[in-house]
Structure 1
Amino acid sequence: MTENTGVIVIGGGYAGVMAANRLTQRADVAVTLINPRPTFVERIRLHQLVAGSHEAVVDYREVLREGVRLVVDTVTRIDAAERGVTLASGGTLGYDHLVYAVGSGSADPRVPGASEFAYPIATLEEARRLRPVLDAASATAAVTVVGGGPTGIETAAELAEEGRAVTLVCGGVLGPYLHRRGRRSVARRLAGLGVTVLEGPDTKVTAVTRDAVRLSGGRTLPSEVTVWTAGFGVPDLAARSGLSTDALGRLLTDETLTSVDDPRIVAAGDSAAPSNLPLRMSCQAAMPLGARAADTVLSRIAGEQPAPLNQVFAGQCVSLGRRAGIFQFAHRNDVALWFHVDGRPGAKLKEFVCKSVVKHLGDEARKPGSYSLHRVPGGAERRQLLRAATPPAPAATPAADRS
């Protein structure tokens, strides 16, 4: 009797769940998903959790294939040589193949006082910590949101719609991804909600105190509650485990998402740096990367050559409270187009996207292999970038690993 091939997936977010579900296409593959929480987090709804309009969690029974073993724990080290992982609880688990999908979280702000007095919301625990703080603050309390990206915009709009006095400090341009037409639309909506938007080179935060935010231009803003949405970081698990990473700590891989150090380790989602040219951190990238990572593992098990990455983008979706939003369309290479949908239709599109993400995961759980967005034709711009760059050499695949 042939022994099952054991695959461990580290991380139960968008990429990890997609990979775990897809790996169950083979009956002889035993999949273990290791995640620090017992529920799936809808990260793209965390700003709603902060504002009290959504819990931002889904039961794993809705999105995870029955038969995938869920281990609620944290991996503290990967031992590539021994093909095992060490858990925070003290146990160890062995694997034949490993999918590294640890995601991303808040970056160290490196701004005096930010760690002590500002509230990040990149994780479920952080968002839950902020919610009672806002509840305890008076209705007229000055709230400052730091960061002009989608999370900052969404959080500012959501809180302003509640009647909060919100200032959005961009530290640069409002919505840097957006086309200028889309940016104007977002600015109009925020102004209509009463959000004070501060952008430009003099709006970089230089210090945070218990009741104020200081800017590079010399201005000091009163702030009873400061929300920090600027920047993301990745866990340092790969680096701590002696695996090659980029400067941010993402696992370095080739274009099949295979680690440059070990052909039995593949990466997906925000924590992957294929050819040292990582994609934009987003669920839009994470789920196709999760599917591609699973396909790479399945190809190696079958003794076949894995297909390379073929990632395309549709744009960026940003909610602007519960009654408005914007869908910014983009070229397949993730550069914004002039065209966007805003207002109430934009809000409906954003909600459709949020629900579709969960549906895609649930559909893959019910019918592994059904997801196909990672195979949409495209990728010419990425191939040009690869020719212009000098990517790390792909990991070799010994004959013994093709069995």
Structure 2
Amino acid sequence: MGTRTEVVVIGAGYAGVLAANRLTRRDDVAVTLINPRAEFVERIRLHQLVAGNHDAVVDLADVLAPRVRLVVDAVDRIDVAGRALDLASGGRIGYDRLVYAVGSRAAAPEIPGAAEHAHPIATVEDARRLRSLLHGAAPGAPVVVVGAGPTGIETAAELGEQGHAVTLVCGDTVGPYLHPRVRDVVTDRLDGFGVTVLQGPGATVREVAAGAVRLADGRDLRSGLTIWTAGFGVPDLARRSGLTTDEVGRLITDETLTSVDDDRIVAAGDSAAPSGTPFRMSCQAALPLGAIAADTVLARLAGRPPRPANVVFAGQCLSLGRTAGLFQLASLDDRAGRRFLGGGRAGAWLKELVCTSTVKELRHEARRPGQSTLHRLVRKDVRSRYLRRRTEARVTS
């Protein structure tokens, strides 16, 4: 492949774009980014797209370094032995190094009827479809949102604020990550928008039908539109290509994000499972993981040992409609605490700041590759604490 090292990045999410930009630090590295669309999708704004108050996309040319070659296509298979990618269009692209950053998507629901009658919100296409369905729904038609993670909460709040009759079906509890004190703030705000919050042992979905959602406790909820936010998975590209993955399909890597099968492949973002123990799916983790993946590639090209991943967390930011939001504070190893910021307009401003700052981080890295230092904000070994806590949680569950 000539004198230059060909590095290919699969996926243009938060991790993939940052990694591609950062890899242009070396003039002897040619970077190709493969993505199914020419848009960068702001995943953390998809609920706004459904509500009709944001497009949730940015032209990839606006956030990519000029030296990154964009190929708009999908990858069907990784030919690990041949160091090449088979594309959906029938083409084939070779690589010397590969960054696997395919992101995440909605998990296939196992509940009867959910695949036929409920609508996911994990991709921009999903959100655009939902926006169209919402626009075409009868006035006053009830909306049922299934799933009480950030996407479910934010979608329910966004639509409730607009006056839709929304029921949020949470399962055991709303916002499982949140501290109980913060959950109370969230439920109070949802109640203020007229959102009915159903949680507890009986508030799990047993079946989804046309126009109804049936719960485990026997209740039937009338639904003109059912939005499914319960659970995320990852594309099965790595598994289909014969690489070692976890049960969800994330690529198993060591702590430098290097595949356990091939040191020419590194992973980043939601599709990476270092030591089989992935970080919480979030742009908060994806951006530093993109930087670490690029640094791992660059270190190996320079003949240096790469550094292990040491991502730290600050908490979880939630929008609660356009007029409120909050930031759940957490320990560096991602344990939610009692403290939070916002709760009203200050929280809405903070969430908007977070959303805009992620895109700015990508643009800055495009202009000045290597400037992102999110993964080096804290030098102490936080990852070992995270691994120990996750291991203990698995043992006791």
Same fold (TM over 0.5): yes
1:157 aligned residue = 157
- Change over 3 Å in CA distance of 1:205–1:339 after alignment to 2: same
Cα distance in 2 for partners of 1:224, 1:386 equals 43
1:180 aligned residue = 180
Query: Quick one: which amino acid aligns to residue 298 of structure 2?
Result: L
1:379, CA displacement in angstroms?
A: 5.9
Q: CA RMSD in A?
A: 1.4
Identity of aligned residues (%): 66
- Change over 3 Å in CA distance of 1:10–1:45 after alignment to 2: same
Secondary structure of the 2:90 match is: coil
1:331, CA displacement in angstroms?
A: 0.4
> Are residue 21 (structure 1) and residue 25 (structure 2) matched?
no
Secondary structure of the 1:203 match is: coil
2:84 aligned residue = 84
Matched ranges for 1:115-134 at <5 A: 115-134=115-134
1:71 aligned residue = 71
The 8 Å contact of residues 323 and 347 in structure 1, kept in 2 or not, is answered as yes
Q: Deviations over 1:326-355 (max 9, x none)?
A: 111110011111111211111000000000
- Change over 3 Å in CA distance of 1:80–1:331 after alignment to 2: same
Query: Quick one: which amino acid aligns to residue 356 of structure 2?
Result: K
Matched ranges for 1:362-377 at <5 A: 362-377=363-378
Q: Deviations over 1:12-35 (max 9, x none)?
A: 000000000000000000000000
2:394 aligned residue = none
Cα distance in 2 for partners of 1:179, 1:81 equals 47
Structure 1, unaligned runs of 5 or more:
391-403
Cα distance in 1 for partners of 2:375, 2:112 equals 42
Cα distance in 2 for partners of 1:355, 1:302 equals 34
1:380, CA displacement in angstroms?
A: 3.9
1:376, CA displacement in angstroms?
A: 2.1
The 8 Å contact of residues 333 and 386 in structure 2, kept in 1 or not, is answered as no
- Change over 3 Å in CA distance of 1:11–1:263 after alignment to 2: same
Cα distance in 1 for partners of 2:31, 2:382 equals 34
Q: Deviations over 1:99-146 (max 9, x none)?
A: 000000010111111000001000011111111110111221010000
Cα distance in 1 for partners of 2:82, 2:299 equals 22
2:167 aligned residue = 167
> Are residue 191 (structure 1) and residue 200 (structure 2) matched?
no
- Change over 3 Å in CA distance of 1:104–1:188 after alignment to 2: same
- Change over 3 Å in CA distance of 1:386–1:323 after alignment to 2: closer
Cα distance in 2 for partners of 1:315, 1:177 equals 9
Normalising by structure 1, report the TM-score: 0.95
The 8 Å contact of residues 309 and 383 in structure 2, kept in 1 or not, is answered as no
Q: Deviations over 1:71-123 (max 9, x none)?
A: 00000000111110000000000000000000000101111110000010000
2:269 aligned residue = 269
Query: Quick one: which amino acid aligns to residue 359 of structure 1?
Result: K
Secondary structure of the 1:9 match is: strand
Cα distance in 2 for partners of 1:36, 1:277 equals 28
Q: Deviations over 1:141-189 (max 9, x none)?
A: 0100000110000000001111100000001210111111110100110
Counting matched residue pairs gives 390
Secondary structure of the 1:126 match is: helix
1:397 aligned residue = none
Cα distance in 2 for partners of 1:267, 1:208 equals 36
Secondary structure of the 2:168 match is: strand
The 8 Å contact of residues 148 and 172 in structure 1, kept in 2 or not, is answered as no
- Change over 3 Å in CA distance of 1:370–1:192 after alignment to 2: same
Query: Quick one: which amino acid aligns to residue 347 of structure 2?
Result: G
1:221, CA displacement in angstroms?
A: 0.5
The 8 Å contact of residues 13 and 103 in structure 1, kept in 2 or not, is answered as yes
Cα distance in 2 for partners of 1:337, 1:388 equals 15
Cα distance in 2 for partners of 1:324, 1:295 equals 38
1:388, CA displacement in angstroms?
A: 8.9
2:206 aligned residue = 206
Secondary structure of the 2:308 match is: coil
Matched ranges for 1:226-265 at <5 A: 226-265=226-265
Query: Quick one: which amino acid aligns to residue 362 of structure 1?
Result: R
> Are residue 337 (structure 1) and residue 337 (structure 2) matched?
yes
- Change over 3 Å in CA distance of 1:181–1:96 after alignment to 2: same
Query: Quick one: which amino acid aligns to residue 270 of structure 2?
Result: D
The 8 Å contact of residues 77 and 85 in structure 1, kept in 2 or not, is answered as yes
Cα distance in 2 for partners of 1:385, 1:118 equals 35
Normalising by structure 2, report the TM-score: 0.96
2:138 aligned residue = 138
2:322 aligned residue = 322
- Change over 3 Å in CA distance of 1:343–1:230 after alignment to 2: same
- Further displaced range: 336-345 or 236-245: 336-345
Cα distance in 1 for partners of 2:75, 2:42 equals 21
- Change over 3 Å in CA distance of 1:57–1:384 after alignment to 2: closer
1:352 aligned residue = 353
> Are residue 306 (structure 1) and residue 300 (structure 2) matched?
no
1:59, CA displacement in angstroms?
A: 1.1
Secondary structure of the 2:202 match is: helix
Secondary structure of the 1:243 match is: coil
- Change over 3 Å in CA distance of 1:253–1:159 after alignment to 2: same
- Change over 3 Å in CA distance of 1:9–1:178 after alignment to 2: same
1:385, CA displacement in angstroms?
A: 5.7
